[in-house]
Amino acid sequence: MDERRRARAALSRLIEPGDLLAGALVAEAGPEAALAAVRSDTDPGEALRTRVGVRAEAAGLGPRQRDLRAGLTRWRTRRGRADPDEDLARMDAASGGLIIPEDDCWPTSLDDLGPAAPVALWYRTSGRPAHRLPAVRRSVAVVGSREITDYGLRVTSEITEDLVRHGVCVVSGGAYGIDAAAHRAALRTGMRVTEETDRTPAEGTEDQAAETAPTVAVLAGGLDRWYPAGNASLLQGILDHGVLLSELPPGCAPTRHRFLQRNRLIAALAAATVVVEARWRSGAQNTASHALGIDRPVGAVPGSVYSASSAGCHRLLRSTPAQVVTDAADVAELMAHGRLSETWADAAEAVDAGTGPQERPLLSAEQLAAGHTGPTSPAAREAVVGPDQRPEDGLSAPDRLLYDALPVRARATPGRISEAAGVPLTRVLGGLSRLERSGLADQVEGRWRKSRRAGPGRAAPPR
pLDDT tens by residue, 294-321: 889 999 999 999 999 999 999 999 988 9
Who's near 216: CB < 8 A, 6+ residues apart? 133, 134, 139, 169, 170, 171, 172, 238, 242, 243, 244, 245, 269
DSSP element (H, E) containing 86: helix 84-93
Which residues sit opposite 407 in a β-bridge? none
C-alpha to C-alpha distances, 204 to 97, 241, 243, 422, nearest whole angstrom: 19, 14, 18, 42
Who's near 240: CB < 8 A, 6+ residues apart? 126
pLDDT at residue number 340? 65
pLDDT at residue number 336? 84
pLDDT at residue number 386? 46
- Report how far residue 414's alpha carbon sits from residue 100's, in angstroms, rounded to the nearest whole number: 33
pLDDT at residue number 354? 42
User: pLDDT: is 334 or 437 the higher one?
Assistant: 334
| In the chain, ranges of CATH 1.10.10.10 domains | 391-454
Going by C-alpha positions, the residue among 139, 277, 284, 106 that lies closest to residue 214 is 139
The answer to whether residue 101 scores a pLDDT higher than 80 is yes
Handedness of CA 245, 249, 253, 254 (dihedral sign): negative
Query: At 351, is the pLDDT very low, low, confident or very high (cuts 50, 70, 90)?
Result: very low
**Mean pLDDT over the full length of the chain:** 83
Work out the average pLDDT over 333-362. Answer: 51
- Report how far residue 7's alpha carbon sits from residue 119's, in angstroms, rounded to the nearest whole number: 10
Who's near 311: CB < 8 A, 6+ residues apart? 278, 279, 280
b/e sequence 224-262, b meaning 16+ C-beta within 10 Å: bebbbeebeebbebbbebbbbbbbbbbebebbbbbbbbb
pLDDT at residue number 244? 97
What single DSSP character describes residue 135?
A: P
pLDDT per position as a tens digit, 245-263:
999 999 999 988 899 999 9
Query: At 391, is the pLDDT very low, low, confident or very high (cuts 50, 70, 90)?
Result: low
Top CATH class of 391-454 equals: mainly alpha
pLDDT at residue number 190? 92
Considering only 49-58, 161-170, 220-229, 358-367, which range has the smallest mean pLDDT? 358-367
The answer to whether residue 339 scores a pLDDT higher than 70 is no
Angle at 270 between CA 266 and CA 271, to 5 degrees: 150
| In the chain, ranges of CATH 3.40.50.450 domains | 108-352
pLDDT at residue number 207? 44
Phi, psi of 272 (to 5 degrees): -155, 155
pLDDT per position as a tens digit, 135-168:
888 999 999 999 999 999 999 999 999 999 999 9
- Report how far residue 393's alpha carbon sits from residue 437's, in angstroms, rounded to the nearest whole number: 15
Who's near 458: CB < 8 A, 6+ residues apart? 392, 440, 450
Query: At 198, is the pLDDT very low, low, confident or very high (cuts 50, 70, 90)?
Result: low
User: pLDDT: is 406 or 264 the higher one?
Assistant: 264
Q: Which amino acid is at 106?
A: W
The answer to whether residue 47 scores a pLDDT higher than 70 is yes
Q: Which CATH number is 108-352's, of 2.40.50.100, 3.10.110.10, 3.40.50.1820, 3.40.50.450?
A: 3.40.50.450
Model-level pTM? 0.76
Going by C-alpha positions, the residue among 219, 217, 146 that lies closest to residue 186 is 217
Query: At 349, is the pLDDT very low, low, confident or very high (cuts 50, 70, 90)?
Result: very low
Is-contact 255 279, C-beta < 8 A?
Answer: no
pLDDT at residue number 284? 87
Who's near 111: CB < 8 A, 6+ residues apart? 101, 117
